[in-house]
Amino acid sequence: MTFLRDLVSLRSSLENPATPITSAAIGDLFDAGPTAAGVSVTEKSALSIIAFFRGVQIIAQAVAGAPLHAYMRSDNSRTDLPTSLRFEDPNPYTSFEFWETFTAHQVTWGKGLAYKHRNHAGEVVALTGIHPSRVKIDVVKGERARALGVPHFLVFTVDGTDVFTSRDILHIPGLSLDGVTGVSPIQAVRESLGTTLSAERAAASFLGKGLMLSGALETDAALEQEQADALKRRWNALYGGASRAGDVAILDRGAKFRSLTMPLADAQFLETRKHQTTEVARLLGLPGWMLNDQEKSTSWGTGMEQQFTAWVILGLRPYLQRFEQRLTRELMPKGQKAEFSVEGLLRGDAKTRAAFYASGIVNGWLVPNEARVKENLPPVEWGDVPYRPHTTSGTDPLADPTPDTGAPA
């Protein structure tokens, strides 16, 4: 009870009631003021950039689609175990939906948060996601931390009223500068994203104002409004429509047609939009082709499969390792470890997998049943016996042995 009273007292000292919570104060706290491009960049507004939204979706769905396993190691053996974590109960969403949302928060806010549900034995049996905007995180040091035998601990204030510690809140920070709280990628590169948002809004405003003119008719004579309207109707009637594309116009009385090149069709504008997609791919650690940027698709690896494999290892795997280590530390029973399986993402084609399994079986580090499990095939009786390579050089150990009858070849 004393510890809980300390937490309540601590929250009062951290949140001074005499200080008004204004929009300006919140803006200063999260650095959410306008960028140099004149727009404010937030986690929500950044998702209005189509390349950014798609990039976050790709990462979140890839993590959510990786099966979560529990296992134990003893000596040189590994034992796979059923995980006790639930997501469907008490939550209204599935395991896939939980990890998709949790990862999206990790990518956009630089942290993922969830409430830990425990059973009567104190074991964590379920997780419920919490939106980062609802949580204020404070680092507690000094006497209170030393009393618990730690250099510091975290206090989570949810919705401004409920106070929790790490016993009840799963907090997985992303890239951190202080080793405690994660940095929001969006706020870290807000000027770059602000430029992209500004360009998107400028294009939308341009289209909304109906300024997409293909050309202008010019005459030497001054025209009344009725004459100008009549000339426009006559021009459209004679030369408008797809069926008259490429037709030849005949002009008289000094009339001239001047084609107008609009900014949205300019090569420079299109190049700017491509550059924005490249910048988003660079921010999210995605190969460009995943965001439909095909121009440099061969600059990373020799083909799509190699590029995808490199992304799984360098881009996706760090998210999974961050989650695995925190789940193992805070949620799993002692001796158990959490692991996301990415083998399904790295399967390769049938020929590549067959060569991989053959190499493993021939060299003794894989048995047939292990290969069959990876291919979702049932085990066979003889499949758990390691292969012993032949000692006779020049023979193929996987070749079908043919009895030597002594007959001439």
Residues of the chain with pLDDT below 70 are 1-33, 75-76, 84, 87-90, 205-215, 239-253, 259-270, 294-302, 347-349, 376, 389-409
Is residue 81 domain-resident?
yes
Helix (H, G, I), strand (E, B) or coil at 21: coil
CA separation for the pair 363, 288 (Å, rounded)? 38
Q: Are residue 223 and residue 113 in the same domain, yes or no?
A: no
Q: Is residue 167 domain-resident?
A: yes
CA-CA distance, 48 to 31, in Å (whole number)? 19
406 falls within a domain: no
Instruction: Say if 100 falls within a structural domain.
Output: yes
Same domain, 120 and 137: yes
Residues 353, 341: one domain?
no
Helix (H, G, I), strand (E, B) or coil at 350: helix
Q: Each residue of 137-181: pLDDT tens digit? A: 998 888 888 888 888 889 999 999 999 999 999 999 999 988 788
Output the pLDDT for position 271: 73
**Pure H helices in 151-266:** 185-188, 190-208, 225-239
Count CA within 13 A, CB hemisphere, residue 367.
Answer: 10
Identify whether residues 39 and 7 lie together within a single domain. yes
367 and 226 part of one domain? no
Instruction: Match 């790490």 to its residue by tokens.
Output: 166
**Same domain assignment for residues 254 and 354:** no
Which among 356, 346, 353, 350 is positioned nearest to 307, based on CA atoms?
A: 346
Using a 10 angstrom Cβ sphere, with 0-12 exposed, 13-18 middle and 19 or more buried, the burial of residue 158 is middle
Residue 335 belongs to a domain: yes
313 within some domain? yes
Same domain, 37 and 174: yes
Structural domain boundaries enclosing 334: 1-208+264-346
Residues 170 and 77 in one domain: yes
pLDDT of residue 64: 93
Residues 322 and 221 in one domain: no
Which pLDDT score is estimated for 19? 36
Structurally, how many domains does the chain consist of? 3
Report the alpha-carbon angle 151-157-163, nearest 5: 80
Q: Is residue 407 part of a domain?
A: no
Statement to judge: residues 285 and 186 lie in one domain: yes
pLDDT digits (tens, 9 = 90+) for 255-286: 777 766 555 556 566 677 788 888 899 999 99
Q: Which two tokens stand for residue 287?
A: 């190969």
Residue 24: predicted pLDDT:
34
Q: Angle, to 10 degrees, between the axis of helix 267-284 and the axis of helix 190-208?
A: 140
Q: Using the 3D structure, point to which of 261, 295, 329 is the last residue of a domain.
A: 261
Same-domain check for residues 86 and 120: yes
Instruction: Please indicate, yes or no, if residue 405 is contained in any of the structural domains.
Output: no
| 387 shares a domain with 294 | no
Contact 195, 37 (CB under 8 A): yes
How far apart CA 286 and CA 304 sit, in angstroms, is 13
Q: Check: CB of residue 200 under 8 Å from CB of residue 208.
A: no
